[in-house]
Structure 1
Amino acid sequence: MWEGEGSVVELGEEERWQLLRHNSLARLALSAAGEIDIFPVNYYADGETLLLRTAPGTKLLELTVNSHVAVEIDGFTDEDAWSVVVKGTARRLERQAEIDEADQTPLVPWIPTLKYIYVRITPAAITGRRFERAPEPERY
């Protein structure tokens, strides 16, 4: 699988979605008024979109100002590390039928807070890489 020192392998679409489906913690990056914010979020990946829950506050306000977002997840083992980045558009779910459908997913807040607002992220692009973890090569 690995070729040469410090190899990086691009992940295929199925592997990117598999990693998204089998994880649930990410960092959400968004921008409003020229400022970039990054928020830890838990999410649910249904295979086509990402769903998250939030409450009124800075994150929701920034999502309504600028719906273009990036979501990043990563992980590692002793042998390798990986990263998946989703860039897309976020939209607050407004219709009751959408909210009822979202209520049926396994998405629940990680902390005991009321997060009753659903946001769906529709990807425009998904990238992913796997990195070989190995000792640093000799410098000299």
Structure 2
Amino acid sequence: MSDPHAIVTELSENECWALLVAGEFGRFAVAIGSRPEIFPVNYRASDGSILIRTAEGTKLFGVGVNDEVAFEVDDYTATEAWSVIVRGRARVLESPAEIAEAERVQLRPWARTPKTRFIRVDAAEVTGRRFTFGSETELAYV
């Protein structure tokens, strides 16, 4: 049982996946050489992986250069916030069967531009934290 007065609590892997599955918008991070790049993306999460639809460009290039990536999603309410980070290996889907399966997910781009490529991030590590809001004066009474 978690401490109801805890300011920061670790989320279980199951809690992290529940939040990932419920979300639609996150940030995808790649490293090209020593330069990190991060992109806002819409996504779908299921079966231990994250699916991203994209166009030709830096995300695809980055995955080709270094397949070790990170993905982050978070949200907040008036009383708390949470953040989930996925670290893993990314690959561009190439086979017709993989692409057909990805298209069945109906992951539509926000921008009305052609995005015909898919990246799948296979999770190696999933971590998350929940933050309870409050004032500093409340800390004196915990």
Query: Fold conserved (TM > 0.5)?
Result: yes
CA 1:138–1:19: 2 relative to 1, 3 Å: closer
Please list the CA deviations of residues 3-38 of structure 1 after superposition, one character each: whole Å capped at 9, or x if unmatched: 44x611111122111100111111111101211111
**TM-superposed deviation, 1:120:** 0.4
Q: How far apart, CA to CA, are the structure 1 residues paired with 2:137 and 2:32?
A: 42
Q: How far apart, CA to CA, are the structure 1 residues paired with 2:7 and 2:118?
A: 38
Q: Which residue of 2 aligns with 1:34?
A: 34
Q: How far apart, CA to CA, are the structure 2 residues paired with 1:120 and 1:69?
A: 11
Structure 1 counterpart of 2:61, one-letter code: L
TM-score (norm 2): 0.91
Give the total of aligned pairs.
139
Q: Which residue of 1 aligns with 2:18?
A: 18
Please list the CA deviations of residues 88-130 of structure 1 after superposition, one character each: whole Å capped at 9, or x if unmatched: 0000001100100111003110110111001100001000010
Instruction: Identify unmatched segments of 5+ residues in structure 1.
Output: none
Percent same amino acid among aligned pairs?
A: 44
Structure 2 counterpart of 1:131, one-letter code: F
Q: What is the RMSD computed on CA atoms of the aligned residues?
A: 1.7
Q: Which residue of 2 aligns with 1:44?
A: 44
Q: How far apart, CA to CA, are the structure 2 residues paired with 1:23 and 1:63?
A: 23
Structure 2 counterpart of 1:101, one-letter code: E
TM-score (norm 1): 0.92
Instruction: Identify unmatched segments of 5+ residues in structure 2.
Output: none
